[in-house]
């Protein structure tokens, strides 16, 4: 897949990370933990003044400076509106810092450490609280558009990933025809679903609102620590990944989410018909994401089965299942 040497984080040594923070007045005491993140490199750093901060080094070449700064501005805007997010710290009048090292331009941001655990999604009251939280986020998100961030659409999350995968060599020859056939058929139905929903409101979103990206504190409720995938799209994109189980279970969960959501934002029920289309785009995009990052040593280690005949056969089967799911009526709320 298309890649470049800038995919490597090999030069992000502990000394470099500490020096980078020192350059903005945050002096580490030498203790550091690398936190889980495939896309970026994220470190919890303990400071000499007793605080702990989180330093996020953005993957070189993924986002433009304008896109990152727009993410930061959205987080600051949400924080000012008292929506529970962790904004980037002001580092001497800037939130994004760039340093050249070993021929690579590394960009980083720093935030306060803010811990939590995964929310209990089988609790109806937790779902209502999450709905209120996302509704509040969307109230701010609807106030103005993004100028630089991606849009959740078929071209960006379906057609481009398909082209990248077919242009590379990650799909074995024996599995390529079946996967391509199912992918093309699925994208046709996705296009139809988006066309049928034409006119639904698009707004600024978290963009990747799955349970692993939500942190919960029992006395405080949910918060986000990262808006790395913030994008423009329909509101349901920030709701559907919190659903699980069969159609009846998802319908009940969505009713709880919307009970809370509608306290702050109206919801167009036409968007419910986009859930399976959005799930299909996520599947295709996820495969392309792994393929694009394959030169990063973390990815073959984390996804050793990727590229195998079994994986691509399974993907073709799942796309066929998505075709059937998209033909069904939307879940009832």
Catalytic residue, chosen from 65, 173, 188, 208, is 208
Cα 208 to Cα 195: distance, rounded to the nearest angstrom: 23
Are 33 and 52 in contact, with CB atoms under 8 Å apart? no
Are 126 and 119 in contact, with CB atoms under 8 Å apart? yes
From the DSSP assignment, how many helices (H) and strands (E) are in the chain? 10, 9
Q: What share of the chain is helix, strand, coil (3-state, %, to 5)?
A: 45, 15, 40
Active site residue 226: yes
Catalytic residue, chosen from 90, 184, 219, 226, is 226
Cα 66 to Cα 201: distance, rounded to the nearest angstrom: 24
Active site residue 268: no
Cα 124 to Cα 251: distance, rounded to the nearest angstrom: 12
Listed in sequence order, the residues at least 6 apart from 258 whose beta carbon sits closer than 8 Å to its beta carbon are 131, 239, 267, 333
Nearest to 153 by CA among 292, 277, 267, 318: 277
Contacts of range 36-44, beta carbons closer than 8 Å, 24 or more positions apart: 38/293, 38/298, 38/299, 38/302, 39/228, 39/293, 40/228, 41/9, 41/12, 43/17, 44/113
Are 242 and 262 in contact, with CB atoms under 8 Å apart? no
Q: Which residues are catalytic?
A: 208, 226
């Amino acid at each position: 897949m298309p890649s470049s040497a800038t995919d490597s984080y090999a030069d992000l040594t502990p000394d470099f990370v500490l020096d980078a923070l020192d350059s903005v007045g945050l002096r580490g005491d030498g203790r550091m933990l690398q936190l889980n993140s495939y896309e970026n490199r994220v470190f919890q750093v303990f400071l000499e003044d007793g605080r702990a901060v989180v330093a996020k080094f953005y993957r070189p070449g993924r986002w433009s400076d304008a896109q990152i700064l727009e993410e930061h501005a959205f987080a600051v805007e949400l924080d000012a509106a008292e929506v529970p997010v962790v904004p980037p710290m002001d580092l001497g009048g800037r939130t994004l810092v760039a340093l050249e090292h070993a021929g690579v331009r590394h960009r980083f941001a720093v935030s306060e450490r803010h811990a939590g655990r995964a929310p209990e999604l089988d609790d109806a009251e937790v779902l209502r609280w999450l709905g209120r939280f996302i509704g509040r986020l969307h109230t701010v998100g609807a106030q103005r558009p993004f100028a630089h961030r991606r849009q959740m659409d078929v071209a960006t999350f379906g057609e481009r990933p398909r082209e990248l995968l077919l242009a590379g060599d990650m799909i074995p020859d024996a599995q390529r025809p079946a996967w391509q056939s199912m992918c093309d058929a699925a994208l046709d139905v996705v296009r139809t679903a988006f066309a049928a929903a034409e006119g639904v409101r698009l707004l600024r979103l978290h963009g990747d609102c799955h349970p692993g990206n939500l942190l919960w504190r029992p006395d405080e409720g949910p918060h986000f620590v990262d808006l790395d995938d913030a994008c423009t799209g329909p509101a349901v994109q920030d709701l559907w990944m919190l659903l699980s189980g069969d159609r009846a279970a998802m319908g009940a969960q969505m009713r709880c989410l919307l009970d809370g959501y509608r306290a702050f934002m109206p919801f167009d029920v036409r968007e419910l018909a986009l859930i399976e289309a959005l799930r299909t785009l996520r599947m295709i995009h996820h495969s392309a994401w792994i393929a694009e990052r394959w030169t990063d040593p973390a990815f073959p280690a984390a996804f050793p089965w990727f590229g195998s005949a079994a994986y691509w056969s399974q993907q073709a089967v799942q796309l066929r299942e998505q075709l059937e799911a998209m033909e069904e009526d939307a879940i009832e709320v």
